[in-house]
Amino acid sequence: MQIFAIMPLMKILLVEHDISLSTALVELLRANHYSIDLANDGETGLDLVMSAEYDLILLNWLIPKADAISLCRQLRLQGYCKPILLLTAFNSDTNIIAGLDAGADDYVIKPYNPEALLAKIRSWLRRSGIVASSTLSWGNLTLDQNSGKVTCGEQIISLTANEYKLLELFLQNPNRIFSRKLILDRLWGFDDAPVENAVTTHIKDLRKKLKAGGLTQEILETVYGMGYRLNLVPDHTNYVTTSQQQDIHKKPRAKDLASVNRVLERFRNSFSQQVTVLEQAKTALLAGDLQAQRKQQALHEAHKLAGSMGTFGYPEGSKLARELEDLLGRERTLNANEITEFSQLVTALQHELAKPPLTLTAQPAPLQQTHRILVIDDDTTLTEQLLALAGAWGMRMKIAPDLITARERLALATPDAVLLDLSFPGSQEDGLTLLEELVESNPNLPIVVFTARDSLADRLVVSRLGARQFLHKPSTIEQIFGAISRVLPQTKPSVAKVLIVDDDPVILAGLSQLLTPWGLEVITLSQPQQFWEILIATSPNLVLLDLEMPIVNGLELCQVLRQDAHWGDLPILVVTAHTDAQSLQQAFAAGADDFINKPVLGPELVTRVMSRIERTRARHSPKLNIVQT
């Protein structure tokens, strides 16, 4: 059987200011099928990490604007948990210890052997769980990428090359929806691609063969109007029951809703703070002392609330904020009736925010519980809190209060990640013994060490044994779940890149949550003055712009893009709370391709973004030249 394995493209950030060295290294890495972004200084490197996702960072020791040590520390403080490799000409113990203590995972001494560097990169990607296992499974169905065998239980299922590629594609991307056109793009070249209807035939044949081979459950779900995706895994372990899987399956949007609601929880305080600014403006207006600076600040906050509140379950709040924005936007001084109206609108907005949002239910919809976590800790108060809140983070937890129980649970089932304490009073061994056993038996298992011990010696041992993170007690519940979330495997090959530019962090987070489940790589930017730098560094397939932003507005960014010979054809969608004819005319005149109203509706956003990307790709794809004689 001929196999065409689909390898995920790993993304690496190289921070190097020496042009000759960076050029050679970029060529080496791209020749070995890595996707590379280049930063010439520390500040640019930090901006890129905050706006895009990287699987690994190669960091030169001597760089302008921020040295490697400072950059490492800042990245770790801001939650970046992927591997960082230092490139250095310094070979002293002092420098190496300083780099590792600052947060680097490893170092490469210059001049380096290219093969040795590539081997280190592969090793750290494997340790991080980024390089996937060669065996893919779904229930009792297994696909071995090394041998090319597909088995259901003990029975071998014979597939054609195209059927094998289809199955492999869906198993590698369990949360993705693939249209027929996208399947053609991924699995066939331009010269040998069949018509789209042939995809339907291939999927039908694949389903038949899997069923004949003993697979009793339907593996592929038809998402009408969109394409196909992998069904939920039939799970009979004690982590998630079959009935729970069925309940989840009946609510296919529960995961998306829960993720958006978690964003709302993160930014709920910002709504209150923005309303407080309007309350202060109201007080100043009633006193006849609304200064220009305070008025401008209130106008800015009203504008942001008009766009974000409706998206997160407060449609009436968006309407009230829009009316407030209209009053504040008037050039003249407000009269007595308008001041009274402003005061009433602010009060109504405060009452609206006190209500529960429409998108939330009495009990937040749980995430699809596919992440199984084993917590090895004897602190019952802590573990009970973790158990109570695990569902909201998309996790299902089992607790082992001691190392003996931990080994028993591990013998029954392998979790997706482990939270491990190092100290167990009354036991002759500590958690380091189990850590060493786990890393040796399952090197790809993500382990977070969570302990009150905080010596350099402990940290060095934990690092050398291969744990993914070291979390010091005491930590908040959010910090604990955050650390676990960061080490869980994230397999997210993207359909395309979307750059979202908006000065409102609530909107940025919400739009990102809506688009990411569809396989899009989302880059967010809250400072429009950095637009060009981030555009060049990330090369997006589409740009989503807010029209009204401070310093640089969306209309200006549209014009800048359309004037550039290289980026002039990039699709631009504007997001705006203003849909009057004049605003839309200005947007289209500046070069926008389409607009989306605030508050943003998820289905409309996804449909417009995906269709615009598809159309652009179709326009740029090679066409058959027909010569008439």
Asked whether residue 348 falls in the same domain as residue 290, the answer is yes
User: How high is the pLDDT of residue 254?
Assistant: 43
pLDDT tens across 428-464, in order?
788 888 888 888 888 888 999 988 888 888 888 888 8
Structural domain contains residue 239: no
Higher per-residue confidence, 261 vs 277: 277
Question: Would you give the DSSP letter of residue 39?
Answer: E
Higher-scoring residue by pLDDT: 16, 187: 16
Q: Is residue 248 part of a domain?
A: no
Residue 543 has pLDDT above 90, yes or no: yes
Residue 58's pLDDT is 93
* Number of domains forming the structure of the chain: 5
Report if residue 77 sits inside a domain.
Answer: yes
State how beta strands 84-88 and 56-60 pair: parallel
Q: Is the same domain home to 205 and 312?
A: no
Angle at 589 between CA 586 and CA 590, to 5 degrees: 85
Same domain, 15 and 79: yes
Give the residue from 505, 580, 585 showing the smallest Cα distance to 549: 505
Same domain, 144 and 113: no
The enclosing domain of 285 has a CATH number of 1.20.120
- Same domain? For 204 and 281 the reply is no
Q: Is 397 found in the same domain as 290?
A: no
Containing domain of residue 482, as a range?
371-487
β strands within 401-479, DSSP E: 417-420, 447-451, 469-472
Q: What is the pLDDT of residue 9?
A: 54
- At 84, the pLDDT band (50, 70, 90 cuts) reads very high
Of the candidate ranges 157-171, 271-285, 400-414, 502-516, the one whose mean pLDDT is the lowest:
502-516
Mean pLDDT of the chain: 77
pLDDT tens track for 486-528: 888 754 444 688 999 988 877 787 788 778 777 788 888 888 8
* Residue 518: CATH number of its domain: 3.40.50.2300
What is the per-residue pLDDT for 419? Answer: 93
Q: Over the stretch 131-160, which tens digit does the pLDDT of each residue have?
A: 545 677 888 898 887 677 899 988 999 998
The answer to whether the beta carbons of residues 298 and 285 sit under 8 Å apart is no
User: Length of the chain, please?
Assistant: 629
pLDDT at 275 over 90: no
Mean pLDDT value across residues 517-540: 85
230 and 345: one domain? no
Distance CA 170, CA 173 (A): 5
Domain assignment of residue 364, yes or no: no
Looking at 390-430, list the stretches that DSSP marks H as alpha helix, in order from N- to C-terminal side.
403-412
Bridge partner list, 620: none
